[in-house]
Amino acid sequence: MKGIVSLICCSLLPVGWSFVLLPRGPVRQRRQRASRSLPEFPFSPRQSLSLSPLPPTVSMSMDLLKSAMNPKAKEEDMQAKNQELLNQYNERVEKVNALEAQMEALSDEELGEKSQEFRARLRTALGVEDLSQSNDPVREKKALDGILEEAFAVVREAAWRVLELRHFDVQLVGGMAMHDGLLAEMATGEGKTLAATAPVYLNALMGKGAMVVSQNDYLTKRDSETMGQLYKFLGLSVGFVGPDMSKKQKREAYKKDVCYVSHQVLAFDYLYDNLAYYPDDLALFTVDRPDPLYFCLVDEADSILIDEGRNPLKITDRRPAQESSKTLYRIAADVVKYLDGAEGEKGKTMDFEIDRKNQDISLTEEGTSRAQRLCRERGYRLYDNQQPVLLFINNAVKAKALFEKDTEYIVANGNVEIIDQSTGRVLEGRRFTDGMHQSIEAKEGLDISPETKEIASVTYQALFRMFSRLSAMTGTAFTDFQEFLDVFNLRVVQIPTALPTGRRDFPDAVFKTRRAKLKALLDEIEAAHKQGRPLLIGTRSVALSEAIKEDLADIDIDAFVLNARPENADSEAFIIAQAGREGAITVATNMAGRGTDIILGGNPAAMARLYMQDALYKVARERRAEKGQSFIPTESQRRDPYRSLPLPDDFYPVVLSKDVEETVEAVAEAFFETWEDEGRGGPEGRLPTRDELDEVTAVSAGKGPVDDEAVLALRGGYEEVLDVFKEELAEEQDAVREMGGLYVVATEKHESRRIDNQLRGRAGRQGDLGASRFFLSLEDEIFKSFGADSLKPLMDAFRVGEDLPMESPQVTDALDKVQTSAEEFYFNIRRQVNEFDELIVSQRQSFYKLRREVMLAPGREALKLAKDFSQAGILDLLDEAGNTDGSVDPQKLAELTNEVLCGVERVSASDLKQSRAESRNVLSGIVDKAIVKRATELEKARRGLMGDSFFPVVMAVLDVQWSNHLENIAQLKQTIAMRESLRTVYRGREADMMSIKSPLQEFQSDSGTLYKQFENRVARGVLRGLMKNSLERLLQIRPRPDPVPVPVAA
């Protein structure tokens, strides 16, 4: 039987705000004891944790909270320190510039050979023959610093030759900051991607792997194709890891000198590697690179490390579907249709109250009575110990009141798909937990999916701190500099822009009502559009983005929409390519992590590349048809890989001449002919994949040296198209600049200033002109959630018409305080995640280390390991059979031992003593005899069967018991939260409070006890598993790669 495993990102927000990532393929089912469902994390933000002094073992200082609350002085101090650092970097940049003429004089071959020269110098400096075997981070950093200026000069020259891009001085400064393990804040459009190539190249020279972690697969694939040409030119290998790749493909990619991967895929692979049973199931932790977490550069670091920092990642198994639960989800969804809620409305009877800040609801007395009556009419009772209908009702109310379709999620292909609130993208395969996903499915009338149980977990904080060297870059980080420093030990350095910023940020336009805001917004868009100025309209929901498009269509204005709809995924590249053109209007649901710049007047290079891509896809479809084949959708591939790009008719700035069209068609045909003639498709004659065609297009759009004549021909076609588009767009680019550049209009504030700044930063890139303005209303989500009380007096004080904006320092200050309040609220959630995870990090790492050692252990060690586990198992048996006076009960001990040995050997109570030490000696002899007897039986049945069966048994027991441990940890957190809520009774009673520990202290103590119990259960479970499984069943286990007979006589 095979089970389905899923990856969960569980938020510390109240029940329901958790996610599950489901892989496409099946994995081995793991035996798990039946247990009831428990909440992923019980702490409601309403239940503020005690701020009692923490024990020394907690590494995170409470100064984090204090400094976040009053950051002004620290910000000024940090800026002064940053300037000192920038001065030092500028001195080093001058040394890089001094080497430029020397590098220009080198031939392509000589420049490429510099990598081997650098590696030889590093080996000499470190005194090793193999750089990958060096294990002294301090000496390694010093050795790399010794070649930094030359390495950066080499990268700068290579980038110009391959990509026709030259690093600005400030980009070199950013690269030096990244190499030093800092977080470089570089404004949008300043070229972070290019800046990263220098430190990545330098650290990749060590041969231990340099990872570039981006926010999504689109960016990782794009950067691996474009920047990858630079690394390859310099003799380094480059890999890209995608979510749909096989384990073998991933292993090969992770072993490259430079590897591009998204944070989700990296976490996914880390967790699944720690559930693997055989070395060839590994992707990240391979035999030849057991510690792949060496150097990591995180792109869009604020989004990955901060915005997703409150979402622990979890892997789960699906529980067997229960029809009774499915029925209750549907009954609850039907009941809540008749319940009405409100947010503090006076004079109105409500069935439930909504707390948007804490994402919670509570039934009123009226609502409870109505729910009881509605349940009785359907044959159920609201309060029923056998069927907890009330829990289903609460979830259903949350699904109705707090989870809005096309805002928190969309429905696609009969499935609920979650929208990332930071980026506006669909979180593919993820699921809400704690029954919330099922409640939303019931609300939408969809099939109810099975519930899940956690079997593995890790937080992003813990994952990225495992790297020996961590650095990062982003466009917006300084507002959270203290959190980056305290949690990730990443100091934020603001890198100056290459040119002065030309963007003008207009004051916010604040209206009383949402209706008035949207009316003013449309008027502003219409006025700017009449001038021909390009606009980018930022929204926070799919629903609003589509509503704005419809409203604009009503006044004969066309707009492109970039949101979470799956059908819009293919459109992203061309929408961004044209977003800066005259008269263009782009409505986008958030822009964080898009990783793309909007070029004023349009992007001719992007357009030319898209044209070439489409030409290759067209030939691929034709060749496939010639083979008598057609695309048949499958579960893993629902769309034609050679589908045409969804380009509007007027996308390209000019219709290409017949000569240019024929040239493009000819070079595309020639590429496929070369592919077939050289047998690149293998014996079966397969066509190139879409990824292979995209990589060929990227290379043909570059300037690096290429030996492939077919690719060179494609490059010629690309350059012809590019020249035509450049000429046509030149006049338009000038016109857009004269209009004032891109105008960014936002419809709401986010809970973080960083995300607002990301949207603003799309305008005014690299010194361009631009402008931004936020249109707000006091009915916006953030103000309803975090500022209802403070903003109400303002609403009453400003007795102006709805259609007039409120402009006052009081209004600005009040709105700023609301946003600050939201930032502090989510900061505290992330702090809770980190503080509690800190206490189980060592447990998790010890467990995963043990599991990997077991998996990679040679078969000949099976007998020795079995005896080692048995000794720990014996101690567990003695503990369970022990009396309060330290003696043991021989009868009980004999029964427990015989249960574990499963008849392979037997022990009687008369063989044992009340003395713990004497009984231990007796049991050790009997258990060892049983193990040798079992090993002999297995080896006679098949050579190496003892090792083949023992290690999978150990890992199966480890997995089951670890899953149970995680469930116990979740229950412990729930218990501690309940205790904390009860402590309100003792507030003010100093004598009673003296004896009460803080929640963190309780968790530290109790989680340690739980881990000890986990170890004992593992030891006993391994012994029982080895004895219990039948010979027939064990013979079905797949042989290990190194089957060797176990020396049973040892």
Which one is predicted more confidently, 320 or 485?
Answer: 485
Tokens representing 831? 């702090």
Pairing between strand 27-28 and 183-185? unpaired
User: What gap in Å lies between CA 995 and CA 400, rounded to an integer?
Assistant: 43
Assign residue 345 a region (left: φ > 0; alpha: ψ between -120 and 50; beta: otherwise).
beta
Which one is predicted more confidently, 731 or 639?
Answer: 731
Band of pLDDT at residue 837, cut at 50, 70 and 90: confident
pLDDT single digits (tens) 197-216: 999 999 999 999 999 999 88
**Is residue 51 scored above 60 in pLDDT?**
no
Band of pLDDT at residue 64, cut at 50, 70 and 90: very low
Burial class (CB in 10 A: 0-12, 13-18, 19+), 97: middle
Which one is predicted more confidently, 762 or 383?
Answer: 762
SS (H, E, C) 1000-1047: HHHHHHHHHHHHHHHHHHHHHHHHHHHHHCCHHHHCCCCCCCCCCCCC
Which one is predicted more confidently, 730 or 815?
Answer: 730
User: What gap in Å lies between CA 397 and CA 329, rounded to an integer?
Assistant: 11
Average the pLDDT over each of 227-236, 310-319, 623-632 and give the range with the smallest value. 310-319
Mean pLDDT of the region 606-635: 87
Q: Residue 26's pLDDT is what?
A: 33
Phi, psi for residue 987 in degrees, rounded to 5: -60, 130
**Is residue 332 scored above 60 in pLDDT?**
yes
User: What gap in Å lies between CA 411 and CA 399, rounded to an integer?
Assistant: 14
**Is residue 15 scored above 50 in pLDDT?**
no
Q: Residue 542's pLDDT is what?
A: 80
Band of pLDDT at residue 884, cut at 50, 70 and 90: confident
Tokens representing 187? 């404004």
CB 63 within 8 A of CB 74: no
Band of pLDDT at residue 680, cut at 50, 70 and 90: confident
CB 505 within 8 A of CB 218: no
Give DSSP secondary structure letters for 111-163.
HHTHHHHHHHHHHHHHT-S-GGG---HHHHHHHHHHTHHHHHHHHHHHHHHHH
Cα angle vertex 783, ends 779, 786, to 5°?
145
Cα angle vertex 949, ends 944, 951, to 5°?
105
Q: What is the gyration radius of the CA atoms in the chain, in angstroms?
A: 31
User: What gap in Å lies between CA 124 and CA 351, rounded to an integer?
Assistant: 75
Q: Residue 533's pLDDT is what?
A: 94
Mean pLDDT of the region 1005-1030: 88
**Is residue 574 scored above 80 in pLDDT?**
no
Helix (H, G, I), strand (E, B) or coil at 409: strand
Band of pLDDT at residue 658, cut at 50, 70 and 90: very high
pLDDT single digits (tens) 114-156: 999 999 999 999 999 999 888 898 999 999 999 999 999 999 9
Burial class (CB in 10 A: 0-12, 13-18, 19+), 595: buried
pLDDT single digits (tens) 767-789: 889 999 999 988 888 887 776 56
Mean pLDDT of the region 93-100: 96
**Is residue 751 scored above 50 in pLDDT?**
yes
Q: Residue 118's pLDDT is what?
A: 97
User: What gap in Å lies between CA 23 and CA 27, rounded to an integer?
Assistant: 9
**Is residue 1037 scored above 80 in pLDDT?**
yes
In this structure, how many other beta carbons lie within 10 angstroms of the beta carbon of residue 676? 12
**Is residue 558 scored above 60 in pLDDT?**
yes
CB 179 within 8 A of CB 203: yes
Tokens representing 968? 């116990």
Q: Residue 535's pLDDT is what?
A: 95
Helix then strand count (H, E) for the chain reads 37, 26
Beta-carbon contacts of residue 255 (< 8 Å; ≥ 6 apart)? 209, 239, 286, 288, 289
Average pLDDT for the chain: 81
Q: Residue 11's pLDDT is what?
A: 32
Band of pLDDT at residue 319, cut at 50, 70 and 90: low
CB 1037 within 8 A of CB 948: yes
**Domains along the chain with CATH numbers:** 2-47+321-449 (3.90.1440.10), 73-315+462-494 (3.40.50.300), 502-600+741-818 (3.40.50.300), 604-731 (no CATH), 857-1034 (1.10.3060.10)
Residue 948 amino acid letter: D
CB 538 within 8 A of CB 745: yes
pLDDT single digits (tens) 518-553: 999 999 999 999 999 999 999 888 888 889 999 999
Band of pLDDT at residue 53, cut at 50, 70 and 90: very low
**Is residue 16 scored above 60 in pLDDT?**
no
**Is residue 646 scored above 60 in pLDDT?**
yes
Q: Residue 502's pLDDT is what?
A: 85
In this structure, how many other beta carbons lie within 10 angstroms of the beta carbon of residue 639? 13
Between 709-739 and 658-677, two packed helices, what is the crossing angle to 10 degrees?
A: 140
pLDDT single digits (tens) 721-734: 999 999 999 999 99
Average the pLDDT over each of 174-188, 458-472, 666-680, 751-765 and give the range with the smallest value. 751-765
Q: Residue 175's pLDDT is what?
A: 97
Beta-carbon contacts of residue 56 (< 8 Å; ≥ 6 apart)? none
Starting at the edge strand found earlier in the chain, the sheet holding 415-419 runs: 409-412, 415-419, 426-427
**Is residue 473 scored above 50 in pLDDT?**
yes
User: What gap in Å lies between CA 806 and CA 796, rounded to an integer?
Assistant: 12
Burial class (CB in 10 A: 0-12, 13-18, 19+), 279: middle
Sign of torsion, CA 389 390 393 398? negative
Q: Where are the beta strands (DSSP E) in 443-594?
A: 452-458, 469-474, 492-494, 502-505, 509-511, 535-539, 560-562, 585-589
User: What gap in Å lies between CA 1017 and CA 1013, rounded to an integer?
Assistant: 6
Band of pLDDT at residue 27, cut at 50, 70 and 90: very low
Q: Residue 126's pLDDT is what?
A: 94
Residue 589 amino acid letter: T
Assign residue 73 a region (left: φ > 0; alpha: ψ between -120 and 50; beta: otherwise).
alpha
User: What gap in Å lies between CA 179 and CA 198, rounded to an integer?
Assistant: 8
Q: Residue 48's pLDDT is what?
A: 27
Strand partners, 746: 538, 774
**Is residue 100 scored above 70 in pLDDT?**
yes
CB 358 within 8 A of CB 47: no
